[in-house]
Structure 1
Amino acid sequence: MVAARAQQSSGDYYEGLSRKIGFSQMIAPHGLEITYDKTVHVIFPAPVRYVDLGSTNLIAGKADGAENVIRVKAAKKHFRQETNMSVITEDGNFYTFNVKYADEPLLLNVEMCDFIHDGETVNQPNNAMEIYLQDLDNESPRLVRLIMKSVYKQDKRKIRHIGSKRFGVQFLLKGLYAHNDLLYFHTQVKNRTNVPFDVDFVTYKIIDKKVVKRTAMQEQVIYPLRAFNYVTRINGQSSGCTVFALPKFTIPDDKKLVVEMCEKQGGRHQSFEVDNDDLMLAETINELKVR
């Protein structure tokens, strides 16, 4: 009888030794109504990186051509059991929804405007949780954004010898910063003409310093991970700054980094070069000053 009692389960996980999750650890979900004959769109303040659906009663996916909009609808009519949906966005926030069927949903287009914040801890919503993303080398997306924002707002020109000036347009490297495994390039475009400059793309490429004719030029393209205030048009007699976050890299002695900005449907292309010596002088970011 004693042995039987010893083997009897208490009904709790790990025989009552597990700690219960309190409400302070809970991310409160939002309620979301969906239906079969209409599509509900949920708009987030940052591009969506991950979506998980609680059951096959839901169909969801990114809206075509929009990275921050999720479309959701019911896979079958009048399902009765409530389910859920979870979303992770590029800024490292986690969102959760309890989803149920409704013949006529109250809201067909939902903007998560209460999640739009400036990155400060005091302004974080109580139902968003920061996620560390692999493409940022597990750096905090919120901290990356704060660093870019801080560099942009301070707007200091730390570098004065790197840039290009052609056709009345200037493309400058104002500053170069380093924090953990990321590099931050602070760039500026000045348009001294009266014709607007539309940016087609900006590329970062490591190429050979000396290219022998009739041989293939070796290029290593480095793709920016994030951009703060990405300028796509510079009106006449105006300027604009952008801060790019790139993965950490170094430049061999026989190579150089070429940063090229091409004009859309135009020929006023700009480019400047960065050597490894310049890269090694990148200013260290003081994390305490940007938090």
Structure 2
Amino acid sequence: MKNLLLTSIFLSISTLTKAQTPIALDTIYANDQKNVALFFPEPIRQGITGSDNFVFTYNREKEQYFGLLQAKPGKESNLLVVNRNGSVFSYIVRYKKQLTKLNYFVSKSGSIGNEKPIFADSAKVDESKTALENNIYYYQKFCSYLLDRKQRIGRIKKRNEGIVLSVENIVFDKEELYFVIQIENRSTLDYYLNFLKLSVETRQKGKKKSLQRLYQKPIFKYNLPSKVAENQTERLVYVLPKFSISNDRRAVLELNEKNGEKNLKLKISHRFINNPN
């Protein structure tokens, strides 16, 4: 019965890993005079030997990290050990009258596989990849369309030393908000961007008034420049997941100059966020 069970387990593992390169198994020697101890990275859930002249004992009531192997003279066999996490370890076992090694410390890399291998579902991976590519393609097309339009949501603008930052439009489509942004450089020097980010500020009430700021990460950026040349204008789009804010909050678009001090903070009222085009 034990041999049948062991054969069944090995056939299952062989079926699951038949496409893999054959694994060379390590050999462990044991005899009937001494205990050979095997220490595993996870507690032992099951241990089986292939023939009766080998005995592998472990705590079946309370899972422990080690088991003991003994052997009587006879033909070689095999030992299969399954850890609590499903990791499978397999060895050739042989009788040897004189033992030179009594303790084996097994690493995780010694596992030949898992009881229930987790294979990447190629179909799902392909579907996710296709969906992502479709989203990016849609964002690109819709952002390009918005930049070609002349629609405006209101006068949302901030100036500082010849740099003009403005939000021309905020558009809701599907599950996203599209922020159409313009950066105009009226100065005599090129303007290099350090970052352009959007956050939501909450006014904290009480005697000590303060602001709590939560950064809103875009899921897509379209036409974001690294610099705005002198007397030039750049227009871009930030795509964010749809959100709304209460009247005690406001959105802030922050433009920061690389190695410079021409920084701008453009405040956007909650009414523009909650009532997009």
Task: Output the TM-score relative to the length of structure 2.
Answer: 0.51
Of 174, 177, 182, which aligns to 1:188?
182
Q: By how many angstroms is 1:226 displaced?
A: 0.8
- Judging changes above 3 Å, is the alpha-carbon distance between structure 1 residues 55 and 176 closer, same or farther for their aligned structure 2 residues? farther
- Judging changes above 3 Å, is the alpha-carbon distance between structure 1 residues 241 and 167 closer, same or farther for their aligned structure 2 residues? same
Matched residue, 1:144: 139
- Judging changes above 3 Å, is the alpha-carbon distance between structure 1 residues 155 and 270 closer, same or farther for their aligned structure 2 residues? farther
Matched residue, 2:240: 246
Q: Is 1:131 aligned with 2:126?
A: no
Q: Is 1:257 aligned with 2:258?
A: no
Q: By how many angstroms is 1:142 displaced?
A: 1.9
In 2, Cα distance between equivalents of 1:129 and 1:254: 39
- The unaligned stretches of length 5 or more in structure 2 are 1-18, 22-121
Q: By how many angstroms is 1:141 displaced?
A: 2.7
Q: By how many angstroms is 1:202 displaced?
A: 1.0
SS in 2 for 1:146: helix
Q: Where in structure 2 are the equivalents of 1:1-291 lying within 5 Å?
A: 131-133=130-132, 140-152=135-147, 154-209=148-203, 217-283=211-277
In 1, Cα distance between equivalents of 2:274 and 2:211: 25
Q: In the TM superposition, what whole-angstrom CA distance separates every residue of 1:84-115 from its partner, at most 9, and x where no partner exists? A: xxx9xxxxx96xxxxxxxxxxxxxxxxxxxxx
Does the 8 A contact of 1:258 with 1:273 survive in 2? yes
**Residue 185 of structure 2 aligns to which amino acid in structure 1?**
N
Does the 8 A contact of 1:234 with 1:240 survive in 2? yes
Q: By how many angstroms is 1:171 displaced?
A: 0.3
Q: In the TM superposition, what whole-angstrom CA distance separates every residue of 1:61-97 from its partner, at most 9, and x where no partner exists? A: xxxxxxxxxxxxxxxxxxxxxxxxxx9xxxxx96xxx
**Residue 178 of structure 1 aligns to which amino acid in structure 2?**
F
Q: In the TM superposition, what whole-angstrom CA distance separates every residue of 1:238-262 from its partner, at most 9, and x where no partner exists? A: 1101111011111121111001010
- Judging changes above 3 Å, is the alpha-carbon distance between structure 1 residues 237 and 216 closer, same or farther for their aligned structure 2 residues? same
Q: By how many angstroms is 1:131 displaced?
A: 1.8
Q: For this pair of structures, how many residues does the alignment match?
A: 159
Task: Output the TM-score relative to the length of structure 1.
Answer: 0.48
In 2, Cα distance between equivalents of 1:237 and 1:210: 40
SS in 2 for 1:207: strand
Larger radius of gyration: 2
- Judging changes above 3 Å, is the alpha-carbon distance between structure 1 residues 213 and 202 closer, same or farther for their aligned structure 2 residues? farther
Does the 8 A contact of 1:163 with 1:271 survive in 2? no
Task: Give the % identical residues.
Answer: 18
In 2, Cα distance between equivalents of 1:211 and 1:204: 23
Does the 8 A contact of 2:155 with 2:168 survive in 1? no
In 1, Cα distance between equivalents of 2:20 and 2:182: 48
- Judging changes above 3 Å, is the alpha-carbon distance between structure 1 residues 213 and 192 closer, same or farther for their aligned structure 2 residues? farther
**Residue 234 of structure 2 aligns to which amino acid in structure 1?**
G
- The unaligned stretches of length 5 or more in structure 1 are 1-53, 57-86, 88-92, 95-127, 284-291
SS in 1 for 2:244: coil
Does the 8 A contact of 2:165 with 2:182 survive in 1? yes
In 2, Cα distance between equivalents of 1:184 and 1:248: 9
Does the 8 A contact of 1:211 with 1:217 survive in 2? no
Matched residue, 1:40: none
Q: By how many angstroms is 1:182 displaced?
A: 0.4
In 2, Cα distance between equivalents of 1:250 and 1:170: 26
Q: In the TM superposition, what whole-angstrom CA distance separates every residue of 1:240-290 from its partner, at most 9, and x where no partner exists? A: 01111011111121111001010001010012111221123311xxxxxxx
**Residue 213 of structure 2 aligns to which amino acid in structure 1?**
E
